[in-house]
Structure 1
Amino acid sequence: MQNQSIDEVVESIARSLGRGVSLEDPDGVLLAYSSHQATADRVRVNFLLSKRVPADVSEWQLRHGIAQAVRAVAVPANEDLGMLARVCVPLLVRGFRVGYLWVQQQSSEDPASGILAALPRVRPLVDRLAELLLETDTASSERRTQREATFLAACRGAAAAVEELRGWRELGGDGPWRLAVVHEPMPAPDEGGDPHEAALLQRTLALQATVGVAPVLFSAGASGFSVLLCASGVGTAALQQVLERFGAGTARRAGRPAGRMVLGLSEPTADPRDLAEAFHQARHAVQAAAVDPQLGDVCSYADIGVYQFLGTVGWQAPAHGSIHFAELSEADRVDELLPVLELLYDKNGSVQDVAAHLHLHRSSVYNRLARIRSVIGADPLAGMVRLELHLALKARRWRSRPRFELG
C-alpha cells in the first residue's frame, strides 16, 4: 500500500510538471518513476532498466552538490554521458535526507528555470512523498547499514572503525560527544526470533525517533537496543522526546504496546577512541535504570551511584547477598521488610516519605524497622550495616539487569 501511494504521488507530480520524474533513495537505487515519457535521454532509459544510478552519472550529479543541497539543484547536461539537463529535488523530513526526486528537462531549449518556477505548486506533493519515504524501511539501505556497522564497531573499540569515524560530518568536527543507549526492559513476544529482524526494527525505530532532534547526531540499532551519538549538551527534554517516539514506533511497528522505555547516557568524551568506554557507561546506566525505576527513564552514568561499581571486571556479589541480607530474605516471606528498608535508604531515612510512597501509616514503617532489628540483631540504620544492606539490595536488582552486547 505504501509503495502504491508513492507511485501515485510520483505520477501526480509528473502530470503537474508535464515532465518525466524519477525517485531514488540516498544510495541511488530507483524507487519509482512516472509513466510520462515525452522525452527520455539515455541516462533515464538505462536507469529505469538497471534500477541503479551508474557510477559515472552519480559522480557527475554529486559534483553539483546534491548530497549537501537542501533546495532544488539544476544539474547541467553531459553530452558524453548521453544526459540531458535535469533538476534534483532533495527530499528531507525534519532535516533528514530520505531520497531525491529527479525532473528531466525535455530538451536544451527547456530551461531549468521553468522547472524551478513550477516546483512551488507541487510542494505539498513533494513533502508528502518525503513523509512516505520516511515510513518505508530506509534503515535497510545499503549505505545506512554500512555506516551503522562502522559506528557500532567504533563503540566496540575497533581501531579501523574509529579512524573512519573521524571523517564523518555527523561528528561535527571536534567533540565532546555523549553516547546514549535506549532499551525496552520487557521480554519481547517474539523472543528467540530472528536477531536480524530485531536489529532492523531497532535501527528503524532509532532512525525515525531521532529525525529532527538536533542534539542526536547519529543512531544505530542492534538486537534489542539502540545506540545514539549525541552532542555533549543534549538535554533531558530532547531525550524524553526520543523515548516517546520510540514507544510510539514500537507500538506501530511491533504490533504490541510498548513497555517502559529507558535511556542511559554516558559522560562526555572528546576522542573517538574513547567511544568504547562511553558505550560501557551508557550501557551501565540503562541497565541500572531498567532495574531501578527510581533512577528515572533518562539516566546519566554519573547519577547511578553504587551501580557504577556493580558489574565491573572482577567484582562478584555473593549469591545470597550478605549475612544480614540472607537473614532478612529468609524472614521476609511476604515481602514486607526489604521493600521498606530499600525505600528508606533511597529516601534518605525519611519515614514520612516511605509511608507516603507505600500508603502506610508511619507507625507501620516503625514497626517493620523494629522487626528488621530483631531479625538481624543490629540497627539497619547504623553505618556499616546500612552500607551492607543497601549494597545487597542494589546487587539483587542488578542481577536481573538486561544483558546485551554489540556482538
Structure 2
Amino acid sequence: MHTTDVEQLVEQLAAKLGRGLSLEDLDGVLLAYSSDQLHADKVRVNFLLSKRVPADVSGWQLSHGISAAVRPVVVPANDELGMLGRVCVPLLVRGFRVGYLWVQQDEADQSATAILAQLPGVRDGLDLLASLLLDSNTAESESRRRREQGFLAACAAETAAAAAGREEMLQRAPWQLGIIFEVAGAPAGPGPAPVLPARSDPLAATLIHRAAALQATIGIDDALFSAGTDTHAVILFHASHGERSHAAVLERYERELAKRAGATARVLMGLSEPFAAQRQLAAAYQQSAVAVQASAVDPQFGDLLNYRSAGVYQLLAAGRWDQLTSVHYRTLQAQDRNAELLPVLELLYDNDGAVQDVADAVHLHRSSVYNRIARIRALLGTDPLHGRIRLELHLAIKAGRWQRRPRL
C-alpha cells in the first residue's frame, strides 16, 4: 500500500462528498484523513492528534454494530463524548473487512440521510480504497494477529475452544482443517528429509505465510479463517463435497508465496476429516499435520492429501515408529547401494503388483523389473511378494519415509 495514494484518494472522496473524512484500520488506528473541514467535533480533533480511537469512543461506535456491518452504519451523536453524528462505511474486499471510512455530519445536519444518499455516487472510489488497504493492512493488524494467535492456540489444544474465528465457525459447521506446508522438494525414493526453504528471520517468515494465506483465501466462500506460522499456514474450511475450494486456495497460496518470498517452492496441503464440534479442533489439526507430512515424504500422494487417504502413515503417526525395522529390510538396505531395489519394490507394492506400471514409472523394460525382483528374492531367501513378507517390507519402507517427515 502506498500511503500517498490512500491520502490522495481520501482527499478526493472528501471533495466529492463535501465532508470531513477519516480512515482507520481494524484496530482503530488513523491511516488518513481529509484536510478541510469547517466543523470538526472534539472526537475528530482528538483522533487526528492522537492517531488512535479512544476506548470510550470505540465502545460507542462498536455498540452500533460496525464490526459486523457490511453496509454503511449511522452512529448517532453523543454529547458526553463531544461527538457529532457520523456514518461508518465498512471497507470490504470480496466480503473481507479491511478498515473503516468515517463521514462526519455537519452541525446543521438533522440526520445522516444526505450522507447515505451521496455514498452510492462514490462507490468506485470506496472499492479502490478498500483494495489499496488490503495487501498491507489486514495481515499486519494487531486485531488480526490476536485472532490468529488464539486460533493456533486452540489448534495446539492450549485453549479449550477456538477463541479466534469463533463467529465464522459457529455459522458454518461442519468444518475441515487444512495445513499448507512449503518444501523445496520431496524425495522420489530413500533419501534425506524434505528441505524447507531458508528463512533466516522467523518473524518475517511468519508474516509471509500469514499474508499468503490471507490473500489465498479471500473470495473463497468455503475458506472461513486462516493463520500463519514460521513454517506453515492453517486454514479453516467449511466442509463440503469435493476439493475444488482446497485446490483453489493451494494454487493461489503458491502464487502469493512466490510473490512475497521471491522464489518458487513446492506447496502441499493436508486436510483433516470433517468435524462438527469446536473441541475437535486440536484432533483435526493433528490429522491435517499427518496428511501434509505424508505428502511431503511420499510422492505417490501428490500435493493435496486428505487424512483418510494417508494410508499406513495414519498408523505410523499414532505410534513410536522411529526404530521400526526388520532383518529383511536391513538386509535390503545394506545391499541396495545404488538404490535400484527398494524403490522398485515400493512401487510394486504401491501399484498392486502391476509390473508394467512399475516399468513405465522407472523407465525400465518389464524384464529388468523381474530381474530386480529375482535379486531381492535371492538376497532375502524368501519371496518379497509373499503376504507376510510383503506386509513387513512395505511397512518398513513407509516407516523409513515417515522418519524423514518435516516437523511442524
Q: CA deviation at 1:109?
A: 2.7
TM-score (norm 2): 0.92
Contact kept, 8 Å, 1:2 with 1:136, in 2: the verdict is no
Matching residue of 1:206: 213
Cα pair 2:270 2:307 within 8 Å, conserved: yes
Say which SS state the counterpart of residue 172 (structure 1) adopts. Answer: helix
Are residues 1:375 and 2:379 paired? yes
Q: In structure 1, which of residues 235, 239, 246 is the aligned counterpart of residue 246 of structure 2?
A: 239
8 Å contact from structure 2 (residues 322, 403) kept in 1: no
- Per-residue Cα deviation, 1:259-297 (whole angstroms, up to 9, x for no partner): 111111112222222222111111111100111121121
Q: What is the match of residue 176 of structure 1?
A: 174
User: Are 1:352 and 2:356 an aligned pair?
Assistant: yes
Listed as ranges, the matches of 1:184-199 within 5 Å are 184-186=182-184, 187-191=195-199, 193-199=200-206
Distance (Å, rounded) in 2 between the aligned partners of 1:30 and 1:234: 43
* Partner of residue 65, structure 1: 65
Q: 1:221 aligns with which of 204, 213, 228?
A: 228
| 3-state SS of 2:225 partner | strand
Q: Is the 8 A contact 1:21 1:36 kept in 2?
A: no
Aligned-residue Cα RMSD (Å) equals: 2.0
**Greater Cα offset, 177-186 or 110-119:** 110-119
Mapping of 1:358-369 within 5 angstroms?
Answer: 358-369=362-373
Give the Cα separation in 1 of the matches to 2:218 and 2:98: 11
Specify the code of the residue in structure 1 equivalent to 2:347.
L
CA distance in 2, matches of 1:262, 1:217: 19
Q: How many residue pairs were aligned?
A: 398
Aligned pair partner of 1:288 in 278, 291, 294: 294
Amino acid in structure 2 at the alignment position of 1:162: A
Deviation at 1:174? Answer: 7.8
User: Is 1:343 aligned to residue 347 of structure 2?
Assistant: yes
Q: How does 1:14-93 map to 2 (within 5 A)?
A: 14-93=14-93
Question: Which residue identity is paired with 1:383?
Answer: G
Give the 3-state SS of the residue equivalent to 1:32 in structure 2.
strand
* Structure 2 SS opposite 1:370: helix
TM-score normalised by structure 1 residue count: 0.92
In structure 2, do the counterparts of structure 1 residues 340 and 188 end up closer, same or farther at CA, with 3 Å as the change threshold? closer
For residues 300 and 7 of structure 1, the distance between their equivalents in structure 2, rounded to whole angstroms, comes to 46
Question: What is the alpha-carbon distance in structure 2 between the residues aligned to residue 381 and residue 190 of structure 1?
Answer: 42
Q: Is the 8 A contact 1:85 1:108 kept in 2?
A: no
Q: 1:102-181 alignment to 2 at 5 Å?
A: 102-109=102-109, 111-159=111-159, 161-162=160-161, 164=163, 168-173=166-171, 175-181=173-179
- By how many angstroms is 1:307 displaced? 0.3
In structure 2, list runs of 5 or more residues that go unmatched.
185-194
Correspondence for 1:278: 284
Q: How does 1:279-318 map to 2 (within 5 A)?
A: 279-318=285-324
Deviation at 1:355, TM superposition (A): 1.9
Write the distance in 2 (CA, Å) between the matches of 1:266 and 1:304: 11
Distance 1:163 1:247 in 2: 27
Could you tell me which residue of structure 2 aligns to residue 268 of structure 1?
Answer: 274
Deviation at residue 235 of structure 1 after TM alignment: 3.6
Distance 1:90 1:245 in 2: 26
1:137–1:204 CA contact under 8 A, matched in 2? no
Contact 2:212 2:253 in 1 (8 A): yes
Instruction: Output the CA distance in 1 between the equivalents of 2:162 and 2:313.
Output: 32
Give the partner amino acid of 1:250: L
Q: Secondary structure at the match of 1:369?
A: helix
Paired-residue identity, %: 56
| SS of equivalent to 2:70 | coil
Q: Output the CA distance in 2 between the equivalents of 1:163 and 1:244.
A: 27
- The answer to whether the 8 A contact 1:174-1:270 is kept is no
Q: What SS class does the counterpart of residue 261 from structure 1 fall into?
A: strand
Contact 1:216–1:234 (8 Å) recurs in 2 = no
Asked if 2 retains the 8 angstrom alpha-carbon contact of 1:78 and 1:84, the reply is: yes
Which of 396, 403, 407 lines up with 1:399 in the alignment?
403
Do 1:232 and 1:268's aligned partners in 2 also have CA atoms closer than 8 Å? Answer: yes
Q: Distance in 1 between matches of 2:162 and 2:88?
A: 32
**SS of structure 2 residue aligned to 1:262:** strand
State the secondary structure of the residue aligned to 2:32: strand
Q: What do residues 341-395 of structure 1 show as CA deviations (whole Å, max 9, x unaligned)?
A: 1111111111121222223222222222222212222211111111111112111
Q: Which amino acid aligns with 1:300?
A: N
Aligned pairs (5 A) from 1:310-329:
310-318=316-324, 321-329=325-333
Distance 1:122 1:255, change over 3 A: same
Greater CA drift, 332-341 or 238-247: 332-341
